[in-house]
């Protein structure tokens, strides 16, 4: 089976605290792609990052950082010094190549609430 | 970057009527588009994959006769919810595959919120 697990349903933090969102995936593919998306209250998905299975380097983009570990099948996301604008639902997703054109499998999402 | 639009952004319809949602790729041609449904406080679930000029491929459990998908051009795919009922109320999101990127590259539309009364 191929799936994505985001065990944290909701995380509440006070502004300037760091927050880490967990993502564990399961796939039989040797080549696969992992994504993180942000969905603010407006509903529109915002692409944050894509990582392929051959690139295990961690990445930092401003206050965002990602830790990809194939050994534990995890692709965790950290927001440093959180801000109120970070309040949103964050989805981890796995690109599955189960057929000729593939599809995205989303995790359940983690609601992040940042209070002033 | 590539832009995908959806129209309408929200719609309210009466039970038993049909409603059409449009998904357009504005600055690129998309041979493949995807339709997702998202119920409140839930994740996105793929409904169907739409390829230009051919029949859509529906995910298990999605009624193809209820959710009609037409992908008649390289820039437009439509989803028609026929005989809508309150349980069809949801957030519908489309995405379009980038023809010049990897097969995994897709751009999402802003979504359409459907409320059936």
pLDDT in tens, B44-76: 999 999 988 888 999 999 999 999 999 989 999
Closest CA–CA distance from residue B19 to any residue of chain A (Å): 20
Q: Between chains, do A33 and B102 touch, taking CB under 8 Å as contact?
A: yes
Q: Tens digits of per-residue pLDDT, B83-117?
A: 999 999 999 999 998 877 777 788 999 999 999 99
- CB-CB neighbours of A83 under 10 Å: 12
Do B64 and B58 meet the contact criterion of CB atoms below 8 Å apart?
Answer: yes
Q: Write down the mean pLDDT value for chain A.
A: 93
What pLDDT was estimated at residue A71?
A: 93
Q: What is the mean pLDDT of residues A58-73?
A: 92
Q: Which residues of B touch A44 (CB under 8 A)?
A: 108, 110-111
pLDDT tops 90 at residue B21: yes
Residues 6+ apart with CB under 8 A from B62: B47, B48
Do B9 and B93 meet the contact criterion of CB atoms below 8 Å apart?
Answer: no
Checking DSSP bridges between strand A88-96 and strand A33-39, what pairing results, if any? antiparallel
Q: Which residues of A touch B43 (CB under 8 A)?
A: 91, 106-109
What pLDDT was estimated at residue B98?
A: 81
- CB-CB neighbours of B109 under 10 Å: 28
Q: Which residues of A touch B42 (CB under 8 A)?
A: 108-109
State the pLDDT confidence band at A1, using cuts at 50, 70 and 90: low
Residues 6+ apart with CB under 8 A from A3: A25, A26, A94, A105
User: Which residues, listed in sequence order, are joined to residue A113 by a DSSP beta bridge?
Assistant: A12
What pLDDT was estimated at residue B31?
A: 87
Most B CBs within 10 A among A48, A106, A110, A113, hence the mutation to make, goes to A106
Q: What is the mean pLDDT of residues A65-86?
A: 96
State the pLDDT confidence band at A100, using cuts at 50, 70 and 90: low
């Amino acid at each position: 089976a191929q799936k994505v697990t985001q065990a944290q349903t909701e995380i509440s933090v006070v502004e300037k605290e760091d927050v880490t969102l967990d993502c564990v995936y399961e796939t039989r593919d040797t080549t696969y792609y992992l994504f993180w998306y942000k969905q603010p209250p407006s509903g529109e998905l915002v692409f944050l990052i894509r990582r392929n299975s051959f690139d295990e380097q961690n990445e930092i983009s401003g206050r965002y950082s990602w830790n990809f570990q194939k050994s534990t099948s995890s692709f965790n996301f950290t927001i440093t010094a959180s801000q109120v604008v970070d309040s949103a639902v964050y989805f981890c997703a796995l690109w599955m190549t189960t057929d000729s054109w593939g599809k995205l499998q989303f995790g359940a999402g983690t609601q992040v609430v940042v209070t002033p | 970057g590539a832009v995908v639009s959806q129209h309408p952004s929200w719609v309210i319809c009466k039970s038993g009527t049909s409603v059409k949602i449009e998904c357009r790729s504005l600055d690129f041609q998309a041979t493949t588009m995807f339709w997702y449904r998202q119920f409140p406080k839930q994740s996105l679930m793929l409904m169907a994959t739409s390829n230009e000029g051919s029949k859509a491929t529906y995910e298990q459990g999605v009624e193809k006769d209820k959710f009609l998908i037409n992908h008649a051009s390289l820039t437009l795919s439509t989803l028609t919810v026929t005989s809508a009922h309150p349980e069809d109320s949801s957030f519908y999101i489309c995405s379009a595959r980038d023809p010049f990127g990897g097969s995994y590259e897709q751009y999402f539309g802003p979504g359409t919120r459907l409320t059936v009364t």
